[in-house]
Amino acid sequence: MSTGRKGRRDLWLILGLLLIGGAALGLTLLFRSPGDWVVVEVDGEIFGRYPLDENTSIRIETGADGYNVLKIADGYASVTEASCPDKLCVRQHKISRSDETIVCLPNRVVVSVVSERE
Amino acid sequence: MGKNKKISVKQNPQTLAMLGLCTAAAMILSYVESFIPSVIPGLKIGLPNVVIVFVLYRAGWPSAAAVSLVRVVLTAILFGSVMSLAYGLAGAVLSLIVMTLLRRLHFFSVVGVSVAGGVAHNAAQILVAAAVMQTTQIVYYLPVLIIGGTIAGILIGIAGGVLLSRFPETISAKRR
């Protein structure tokens, strides 16, 4: 690889992007308050709203054969089952703080945590 | 570049064959990548981009666009869905535009160009996802995807650079 002027510019670009990403990540983490509600949206419309402190399991039907299973346990929400082939939503971390989300792209399901104020 | 004639597929069947090989290689890389588990959901290295970067530098943006387009469409038909086609196209188009422009500027090396392409790819996918799902919640993924795109871009850029320096130019096309 060329380590000349271009190489140094590359480095600045990389550092700049990492800094922007890191700062944005830090800010979103910093301003997150503990959430109170789990809001499920399907196709941009609100499917349901559930308190985070009640342990439940909800099956979200998304037309045709699509479904996701949302589990709320011990103040954490997670998707435990999904009809989609890649299962990305199932592998995402469980969420508990406001503005955290779990997204299932194929079924257009967005599970997000909101705080009391909203 | 410069006085060199643009290599066109019509003039040079060798180029056509090379682009066909590159498309096949890019598709295999997409397939291989589907077996690599990602640390963060939705975040991929973007292995096929090694080929796109290679073609972009060797044969110019029209060839890179052709290879990229065929790769995305065929991979979506073979292993994906209509949705993956939309996300793939958005990412491929924006990253190629960004990489083409930055390459023209001669300001960054392959690594810098590929880093910008990686970040553009991820940003485009987030935008499509936000539009499709009518939600802004997903934008919270952007910081993670910027960092991920940068790291992936570095790796792809290094690999692309190695490929460019190791492959004899005569294999791609007779340029003079």
ipTM higher than threshold 0.95: no
pLDDT given at position A1: 46
User: Which structural domain, as residue segments, surrounds residue A4?
Assistant: 1-31
Question: Cβ contact (<8 Å) for A101 and B108?
Answer: no
Q: Is residue B86 part of a domain?
A: yes
* Per-residue pLDDT tens over the stretch B73-85: 998 888 777 777 8
| B108 → closest Cβ in A13, A18, A92 | A13
**Same structural domain, A82 and A62:** yes
Range of the domain at B54: 13-171
pLDDT of residue B1: 41
Phi then psi dihedrals of residue B74, to 5 deg:
-65, -40
Q: Residues A61, A5: one domain?
A: no
Predicted pLDDT of residue B164: 92
Assigned domain for B8 exists = no
Tokens 């996300």 label which residue? B87
Domain total for chain A?
A: 2
Whole-number Å distance between alpha carbons of B66 and B52: 10
Helix B61-79 vs helix B13-33: crossing angle, to nearest 10: 40
Q: Indicate whether A79 and A64 sit together in one domain.
A: yes
A41: which chain B residues are within 8 Å (Cβ-Cβ)?
133, 135, 137
Q: Do A103 and B133 count as a contact with CB atoms less than 8 A apart?
A: yes
Same domain for A54 and A4, yes or no, is no
Residues A63 and A105 in one domain: yes
Nearest one of A51, A48, A11, A86 to B44, comparing CA atoms: A86
Return the pLDDT at B3: 44
Q: What is the CATH number of the domain that holds B146?
A: 1.10.1760.20
Residue B7 lies in a domain: no
Q: A92–B132: do the CB atoms touch at under 8 Å?
A: no
Tens of pLDDT along chain A (118 residues)? Answer: 446 788 889 999 999 999 999 998 888 777 777 778 899 988 888 888 898 888 888 898 887 778 889 999 888 899 998 888 777 788 888 888 877 888 888 888 889 888 775 4
Structural domains of chain B, count? 1
Is residue B132 situated within a structural domain? yes
- For B133, the token pair is 């799902």
SS3 (DSSP) at A59: strand
| Residue A56 and residue A109 in one domain | yes
Same domain, yes or no: A53 and A25: no
* B41 contacts A91? CB cut-off 8 A: yes
User: Residue A71 maps to which CATH number?
Assistant: 2.60.320.10
Name residues of chain B where pLDDT drops below 70. Answer: 1-11, 38-42, 170-176
Residue B176 within a domain: no
Note the pLDDT tens digit of each residue in B4-26.
455 555 667 888 888 999 999 99
